[in-house]
């Protein structure tokens, strides 16, 4: 052990109460930072997973048509047109687009979907608004977690039932529908058609679970009178994080609008990020308190140890040794605080994940969602290191500036 | 410039000539504004190896101020200080600190032990900084020094567990730890009873003479001063 570290350790342990106060503030700061980051990112990850599981990474919809551009005819004469893009609803030739999508190595599945707003009625509720999604079930479960989202009934029953339907949990509750019961789907300019509930699913995203009804593609074409084309193609990617880059390439090569999940859910993702930042700032206050406690402890030690500083200086300890002794003290508190704080954060995160929480907002969950990550620990410790070391530099430098002659003469300021 | 390479040689290896410490025309002012006092008014002085010199005089005459200047704890406003013939007074702080560690041992009136450390650790502390010896050699030397001041049985006692006289004996052992050329003592017996004063003074002078060290001590005690090889009375910032 270096002489400076040895002295720092003794100075610190001589001020047990103040040291424990600084230490507990550091432990709290680091621990709470980890817990809050794990919970805020937990809800964000839960939402993203649910969204990817329901709507896939990319959605191909609407053909892009470039509008006419200004054409110069020479001699300052030009045909002037407003430049821009025009979108034509739906995908007219889905097979061709899917063939094009197969050229993308990151694409692992595609599913054609017909979508339309409808009214649904049950024995208990009339003409409630909903959205019909016509799908090929085996194609669709390759681009979604629909099979895992089924909470009652079965997909096999749906496969075998021509007029079968998969109904979202919230919509089923609103219509008071149980498995095997039927309901009417009403589309404008078409007689109502009856469907039977084969399964009820729950994605965890309220906006989906309260409106969406999945039916077979053939039934949807017949009901919605759409014999050709689809509303959109849902695409699953091997690496969903690359959806934005892949979507841009898809738009370029296919000539269709391609919306990555990051753009589709921009608002909610922004909200989650803002929440994470906000809670991060709040918890940084704890670390700030830790740094103030450390400042206070060190300032107190400097005041009480001026004679010791004079002795050390008289024995040949340099100014930088004195600075090091005080920075070591902060370092010792930081190391112990970071280790204990990380342990507290890990236990706290686990504990929070066990707290029951009935949430029916934009997401549906029964417990606190947490997503522990190494980066949270690194960020928490880094914040504590920066704050505490900044707070320690001032008393350490003050200690180093003390003149030994002034101290022994009793005139040190 | 490498500080270590500029250090004067330690007591045991220093060249002849006998003068370990010399100052010429030292000037020192203390305080600011109207409170500024001319404490040292051109003091010249030298201390030889194996010689014990007492600086005596009334309070406020500048004895301690001179001692701190000689110990490189303070900077003079004028004049020069040389250790083993090497001028030191105008060096940078690192060089002066290194010179202190290698060539000067201090004994202060109020012991100034580091109370969280044992007697043994207090004595080892200057050696640890200087880093000339291995850990085992440092401990052996610290034990030998404590034994020579009569504290061989109390090496592991904390500063708080030692009496005033014992603390001052530890301070003497600590001052001798790095075999400095010069021992500077500011009222080393000022806080001790007559018996302990005699013990500490005898220790200091005996060990210093055995090792050929120059001892400069500031004292109010006429008995102690009378037992020194040389007495330099001071008044109003000058030797008289």
Query: A206-228, pLDDT tens digit by residue?
Result: 889 999 999 999 999 999 989 99
Q: How large is the average pLDDT for residues B112-139? A: 90
Would you state the pLDDT for residue A219?
A: 94
CB–CB contact A315 B64 (8 Å): no
Closest partner residue to A307 (CB to CB) among B101, B104, B112 is B112
Residue A16 has pLDDT above 80, yes or no: yes
CB–CB contact B125 A319 (8 Å): no
Q: How confident is the model at residue A398 (pLDDT cuts 50, 70, 90)?
A: confident
Q: List the single best residue of A3, A13, A314 to mutate versus B (max B Cβ within 10 A).
A: A314
Integer angstrom CA distances of residue A162 from A169, A195, A218, B145, B182: 21, 9, 9, 101, 106
Average pLDDT, chain A: 87
Query: A89-123, pLDDT tens digit by residue?
Result: 889 889 999 999 999 999 999 999 999 999 999 98
* Residue listed under structure tokens 């530099």: A393
Would you state the pLDDT for residue A189?
A: 78
Closest residue in B to A320 (Cα) is B94
CB–CB contact A321 B129 (8 Å): yes
DSSP type of residue A211: T
- A–B CB contacts, 8 A cutoff, strictly below: 78
Sort A183 into a burial class: Cβ within 10 Å, 0-12 / 13-18 / 19+.
buried
User: In the structure encoding, which two tokens stand for residue B93, read together?
Assistant: 């702080």
Question: For residues B38 and B217, is the Cβ–Cβ distance under 8 A?
Answer: no
Q: How far, in Å, CA of B172 to CA of A407, rounded?
A: 20
CA dihedral sign of residues A12, A16, A21, A25? positive
Query: How close does chain B come to A393, measured CA to CA in Å?
Result: 20
Would you state the pLDDT for residue A408?
A: 75
Would you state the pLDDT for residue A304?
A: 80
Q: Which residues of B touch A11 (CB under 8 A)?
A: 116
CB–CB contact A316 B97 (8 Å): yes
Residue A43 has pLDDT above 60, yes or no: yes
Residue B6 has pLDDT above 50, yes or no: no
Would you state the pLDDT for residue A286?
A: 75
* Residue listed under structure tokens 């040291």: A19
Would you state the pLDDT for residue A70?
A: 64
Q: Which residues of B touch A312 (CB under 8 A)?
A: 114, 125
Would you state the pLDDT for residue A366?
A: 79
User: In the structure encoding, which two tokens stand for residue A127, read together?
Assistant: 């003409």
**ipTM confidence score:** 0.82
Would you state the pLDDT for residue A73?
A: 67
Question: For residues A236 and A62, is the Cβ–Cβ distance under 8 A?
Answer: no
- Other Cβ atoms less than 10 A from the Cβ of A152: the count is 13
Q: How far, in Å, CA of A335 to CA of A283, rounded?
A: 19
A37: nearest Cα among A362, A375, A398, A411? A375
* Residue listed under structure tokens 């029964």: A366
Q: How far, in Å, CA of A146 to CA of A53, rounded?
A: 7
DSSP type of residue A91: B
pTM over 0.90: no
Helix (H, G, I), strand (E, B) or coil at B212: coil
Q: Which residues of B touch A404 (CB under 8 A)?
A: 68, 73-74
B176–chain A Cβ distance below 8 A for any pair? no
Q: List the single best residue of B4, B110, B116, B122 to mutate versus A (max A Cβ within 10 A).
A: B116
Query: How close does chain B come to A397, measured CA to CA in Å?
Result: 15
Query: How close does chain A come to B17, measured CA to CA in Å?
Result: 26
Question: For residues A166 and A208, is the Cβ–Cβ distance under 8 A?
Answer: no
CB–CB contact A411 B186 (8 Å): no
φ/ψ of residue B86, rounded to 5: -100, 120
Integer angstrom CA distances of residue A129 from A111, A134, A200, A232, B44: 24, 16, 17, 21, 105
A345: nearest Cα among A294, A287, A292? A287
Closest residue in B to A10 (Cα) is B116
Integer angstrom CA distances of residue A289 from A109, A274, A286, A387, B113: 51, 23, 5, 9, 34
Q: How far, in Å, CA of B77 to CA of B23, rounded?
A: 13
Q: Which residues of A touch B187 (CB under 8 A)?
A: none
User: In the structure encoding, which two tokens stand for residue B222, read together?
Assistant: 């006429």
Query: A227-279, pLDDT tens digit by residue?
Result: 999 999 999 999 999 999 999 999 889 889 999 999 988 888 888 888 888 88
B74–chain A Cβ distance below 8 A for any pair? yes
DSSP type of residue B88: -
B98–chain A Cβ distance below 8 A for any pair? yes
B187–chain A Cβ distance below 8 A for any pair? no
Half-sphere exposure at residue A198, Cβ-oriented, CA atoms within 13 angstroms:
21
CB–CB contact A319 B93 (8 Å): yes
User: In the structure encoding, which two tokens stand for residue A60, read together?
Assistant: 């191909």
CB–CB contact B100 A313 (8 Å): yes
Q: Over the range A265-303, which residues count as b (16 or more CB within 10 Å of their CB) and which as e?
A: beebbeebeebbeebbeebbebbbbbbebbbbbbbebbe
Would you state the pLDDT for residue A13?
A: 85
The interface residues of chain A toward chain B in range 302-321, judged by CB-CB distance below 8 A, are: 307-308, 310-319, 321
Query: How close does chain A come to B129, measured CA to CA in Å?
Result: 7
Q: How far, in Å, CA of B136 to CA of B128, rounded?
A: 11
Q: Which residues of B touch A10 (CB under 8 A)?
A: 114, 116-117
Residue B3 has pLDDT above 50, yes or no: no
CB–CB contact A317 B102 (8 Å): no
Q: Which residues of B touch A6 (CB under 8 A)?
A: 128
CB–CB contact A316 B71 (8 Å): no
- Most confident region among A10-19, B69-78, B201-210 by mean pLDDT: B69-78
CB–CB contact B68 A307 (8 Å): no
CB–CB contact B68 A403 (8 Å): no
Half-sphere exposure at residue B27, Cβ-oriented, CA atoms within 13 angstroms:
4
Residue B167 has pLDDT above 80, yes or no: yes
Query: How close does chain B come to A318, measured CA to CA in Å?
Result: 6
Q: Which residues of B touch A408 (CB under 8 A)?
A: 64, 68, 73, 108, 112, 186
Closest residue in A to B116 (Cα) is A10
Kindly report which listed range (A67-71, B172-176, B224-228) carries the lowest average pLDDT score: A67-71
A218: nearest Cα among A142, A172, A159, A177? A159
The interface residues of chain A toward chain B in range 6-35, judged by CB-CB distance below 8 A, are: 6-7, 10-11, 13-14
Would you state the pLDDT for residue B11?
A: 44
φ/ψ of residue A305, rounded to 5: -110, 20
B106–chain A Cβ distance below 8 A for any pair? yes
User: In the structure encoding, which two tokens stand for residue A124, read together?
Assistant: 């208990």
Q: How far, in Å, CA of B98 to CA of B20, rounded?
A: 16
Q: How large is the average pLDDT for residues A4-8? A: 90
Sort A69 into a burial class: Cβ within 10 Å, 0-12 / 13-18 / 19+.
exposed
Q: How large is the average pLDDT for residues A282-296? A: 79
Closest partner residue to A405 (CB to CB) among B73, B114, B117 is B73
Helix (H, G, I), strand (E, B) or coil at A360: strand
Closest partner residue to B98 (CB to CB) among A316, A404, A409 is A316
The interface residues of chain B toward chain A in range 208-227, judged by CB-CB distance below 8 A, are: none
Q: How confident is the model at residue A17 (pLDDT cuts 50, 70, 90)?
A: confident
Question: For residues A364 and A206, is the Cβ–Cβ distance under 8 A?
Answer: yes
């Amino acid at each position: 052990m270096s002489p400076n570290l040895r002295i720092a350790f003794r100075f610190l342990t001589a001020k047990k109460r103040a040291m424990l106060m600084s230490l507990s503030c550091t432990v709290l700061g680091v621990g709470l930072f980890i817990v809050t980051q794990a919970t805020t990112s937990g809800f964000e990850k839960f939402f993203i997973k649910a969204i990817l599981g329901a709507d896939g990474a990319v959605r191909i919809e609407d053909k892009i048509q470039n509008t006419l551009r200004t054409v110069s005819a020479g001699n300052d004469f030009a045909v002037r047109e407003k430049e821009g893009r025009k979108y034509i609803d739906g995908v007219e030739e889905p097979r061709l687009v899917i063939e094009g999508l197969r050229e993308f190595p990151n694409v692992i599945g595609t599913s054609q979907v017909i979508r339309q707003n409808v009214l649904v009625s049950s024995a208990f509720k009339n003409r409630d608004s909903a959205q019909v999604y016509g799908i090929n079930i085996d194609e669709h479960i390759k681009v979604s977690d629909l099979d895992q989202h089924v909470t009652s009934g079965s997909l096999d029953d749906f496969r075998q039932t021509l007029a079968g339907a998969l109904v979202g949990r919230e919509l089923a509750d609103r219509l008071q529908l149980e498995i095997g019961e039927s309901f009417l789907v009403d589309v404008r300019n078409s007689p109502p058609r009856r469907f039977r509930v084969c399964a009820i699913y729950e994605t965890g995203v309220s906006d989906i679970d309260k409106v969406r009804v999945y039916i077979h593609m053939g039934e949807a074409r017949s009901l919605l009178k759409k014999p050709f084309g689809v509303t959109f193609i849902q695409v699953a990617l091997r690496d969903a994080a690359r959806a934005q880059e892949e979507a841009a390439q898809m738009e370029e090569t296919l000539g269709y609008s391609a919306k990555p999940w990051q753009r589709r859910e921009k608002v909610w993702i922004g909200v989650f990020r803002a929440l994470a930042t906000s809670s991060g700032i709040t918890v940084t206050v704890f670390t700030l308190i830790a740094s103030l406690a450390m400042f206070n402890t060190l300032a107190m030690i400097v005041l009480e140890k001026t004679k010791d500083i004079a002795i050390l200086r008289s024995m040949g300890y340099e100014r930088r040794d004195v600075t090091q002794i005080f920075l070591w003290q902060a370092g010792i508190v930081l190391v112990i605080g970071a280790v204990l704080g990380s342990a507290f954060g890990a236990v706290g995160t686990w504990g929070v994940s066990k707290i029951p929480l009935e949430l029916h907002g934009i997401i549906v969950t029964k417990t606190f969602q947490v997503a522990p990550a190494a980066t949270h620990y690194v960020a928490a410790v880094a914040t504590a290191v920066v704050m505490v070391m900044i707070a320690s530099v001032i008393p350490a430098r003050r200690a180093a500036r003390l003149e030994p002659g002034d101290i022994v003469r009793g005139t040190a300021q | 410039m490498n500080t270590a390479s500029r250090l004067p040689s330690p007591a045991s290896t220093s060249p002849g000539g006998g003068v370990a410490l010399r100052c010429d025309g030292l000037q020192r002012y203390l305080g600011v504004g109207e409170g500024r006092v001319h404490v040292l008014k051109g003091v010249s002085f030298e201390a030889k190896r194996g010689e014990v010199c007492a600086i005596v005089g009334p309070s406020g005459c500048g004895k301690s101020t001179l001692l701190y200047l000689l110990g490189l704890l303070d900077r003079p406003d004028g004049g020069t200080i040389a250790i083993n013939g090497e001028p030191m007074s105008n060096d940078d702080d690192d060089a002066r600190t290194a010179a202190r560690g290698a060539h000067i041992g201090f004994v202060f009136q109020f012991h100034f032990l580091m109370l969280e450390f044992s007697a043994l650790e207090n004595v080892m502390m200057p050696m640890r900084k200087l880093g000339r010896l291995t850990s085992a050699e440092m401990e052996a030397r610290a034990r030998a020094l404590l034994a020579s001041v009569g504290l061989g049985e109390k090496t592991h006692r904390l500063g708080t567990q030692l009496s005033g006289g014992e603390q001052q004996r530890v301070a003497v052992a600590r001052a001798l730890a790095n075999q400095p050329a010069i021992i500077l003592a500011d009222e080393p017996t000022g806080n001790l009873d007559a018996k302990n004063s005699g013990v500490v003074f005898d220790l200091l002078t005996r060990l210093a003479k055995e090792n050929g060290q120059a001892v400069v001590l500031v004292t109010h005690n006429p008995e102690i001063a009378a037992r020194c090889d040389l007495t330099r009375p001071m008044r109003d910032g000058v030797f008289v």
